[in-house]
Amino acid sequence: MVAGKYFTVGWEQLHRDSKALAWRLMDEIQSSRGPFAGIVAITRGGLIPAAIIARELECRLVETVSIVTYDEEDRGQPQVLKPPTAAGDGTGWLVIDDLVDTGTTARVVRALLPRAHLATVYAKPEGKPLVDTFVTEVSQDTWILFPWDTEAQFIAPIARTAGR
């Protein structure tokens, strides 16, 4: 898959958006469920949002599920490298990922943890119906560049590259 557009998310934006997700989840906790028993972070993209949300919700029990779906921008068949054994069927657990795209990973997680609450920071239209809570919707043809995928580097001034 080659993206039509790119959207760069920096560390501060990711922190703000993850905290906004924590606020939404607090509303969920207060309205119906009570506190979550623990958090399952979908690795690798869900690790940092899960850490922020675990802090904000004061949740100390964090489990992981490792699913490989992408190699760079190429999508393959999902492979579960590490199941979330501590979470059982997901009852009372919160699952966190950075993004739901086509829903491939979300479907695998739903099969593993059918009773969990699935939340993502960002959601694309194809995957959005599979999550219970998200913060920001982006178009399906947008590739999000997360801070762990990019780095700042020197760019020469325009005057040096304008063909003088």
**Nearest CA-CA partner of 39 in 31, 30, 29:** 29
Is residue 101 among the annotated active site residues? yes
Catalytic residue among 17, 71, 98, 149: 98
Can you read off the two tokens belonging to residue 43? 């690795």
Q: Of residues 27, 74, 89, 97, which has the active-site annotation?
A: 97
149 is catalytic: no
Q: Is the pLDDT of residue 92 over 80?
A: yes
Which domains are delineated in the chain? 5-161 (3.40.50.2020)
Which two structure tokens, joined as six digits, stand for 151? 């780095």
Q: What band does 153 get if pLDDT is binned at 50, 70 and 90?
A: confident
Using CA atoms, how far apart are residues 18 and 39, in angstroms rounded to an integer? 14
- Bridge partners of 119, per DSSP, are 96, 133
Cβ–Cβ under 8 Å, residues 131 and 113: no
Give the pLDDT band (50/70/90) at residue 73: low
Band (71; pLDDT cuts 50, 70, 90): low
Of 17, 71, 74, 101, catalytic: 101
